[in-house]
Amino acid sequence: MAERGESTLVSYLPKVLARSAGSTLNLVVAGVSALLAAGLRSWAVAALGAVAYVALVAWDVVSPGFWKETLSGRSEEERKLPAPGKLEDPRVRDSVRAIHQAREELTRTLADAPRGVLSHLELALSSLSELEGRAVRLVQRGEELSRYLRTVDMGEVRDQLRLLEEQTREARDAEAREQYQSARKAREEHLAALRDIHAAHERVLANLSRIAATFQGLPAKVMRLRALDAQATDSMYGDLNQELGRMNGEIQAFEDTLQSLKEVRVAS
């Protein structure tokens, strides 16, 4: 049984390696390193870039989250953070633009970082890749919720609820009153569902803002570690790893709650 499981993993390994080798972050690190090496005519910079690239790929390969995402059946386009211009929700678009810009700055910062810094950051970079995958899913959900919310009017639903309450009070026929009460209950449930959707949308936006802020802060943290270099302690790297790991866990919990959110179908 163990051999069958191992053979299955081996059969999927080329697909996982191919995705990691072609990922945006990994390729940009390799490309920037190559450009710097050519500009400086330095084999040491080229070697350092190669080490960074191999380290990023290696961490992807040993990451269960990366395997799960790769084998999810979704297309490569669906797994990538979309271009800001393709997004409709302005707040989602702003967060995605910030993530793209911060990722580019981080890649430049990592391109010529000392080997010791890169080796300490391997776990953090793996967590960062997982975090970006969560951002992709939040963007998709945020756009979906935003599109739906543009089709509904909570004010109109509240007006209908107030009208039904008035009709219930004024109804003289018992059976008519009962039907008004049933209609009012349905409208109350409708309004509650819309409130839940609004809340979910706001939480998606908040989590995307948090991810964007984390990405934006990473280049400065990496530069601080580079400046300290040998003086940087394991605990400083550990704090960064724990921060990203904790955020991944918290956003995973939020994603789980979103799974229970069903699309509201409004009767016309």
- Measured CA to CA in angstroms, residue 129 lies from 9, 57, 198, 248 at distances of 21, 11, 29, 10
Both tokens assigned to 222:
């990496």
Both tokens assigned to 187:
């409208």
What confidence category does residue 204 fall into, taking pLDDT thresholds of 50, 70 and 90? very high
Q: What is the pLDDT of residue 226?
A: 73
Average pLDDT of span 82-92: 94
Q: What is the pLDDT of residue 253?
A: 81
Q: Is the pLDDT of residue 33 over 70?
A: no
Report which of 38, 37, 39 is spatially closest to residue 48, judged by C-alpha positions: 37
What confidence category does residue 268 fall into, taking pLDDT thresholds of 50, 70 and 90? very low
Q: Is the pLDDT of residue 38 over 80?
A: no
Write down the H helix ranges in the chain: 2-21, 24-40, 43-61, 64-70, 76-79, 90-111, 115-149, 154-170, 174-228, 234-258
Q: What is the pLDDT of residue 266?
A: 38
Cβ contacts of 164 within 8 Å, gap of 6 or more: 180, 183, 184, 187
Mean pLDDT of the chain: 77
User: What are the two backbone dihedrals, phi and then psi, of residue 72, each rounded to the nearest 5 degrees?
Assistant: -70, -15
Answer whether 226's CB lies under 8 Å from 117's CB. yes
Give the pTM. 0.66
Range in 11-15, 92-96, 233-237, 262-266 with the lowest mean pLDDT: 262-266
Q: What is the pLDDT of residue 52?
A: 65
Q: What is the pLDDT of residues 210-262, one digit of tens each?
A: 999 988 988 888 887 777 765 655 666 667 777 777 887 888 788 877 776 64
Cβ contacts of 15 within 8 Å, gap of 6 or more: 70, 71
Average pLDDT of span 148-152: 92
Q: Is the pLDDT of residue 139 over 70?
A: yes
| 25-34, 177-186, 240-249: range with highest mean pLDDT | 177-186
What residue has token string 């910062």?
Answer: 109
Report which of 261, 246, 237, 227 is spatially closest to residue 109, judged by C-alpha positions: 227
Q: Is the pLDDT of residue 111 over 90?
A: no
Average pLDDT of span 9-26: 63
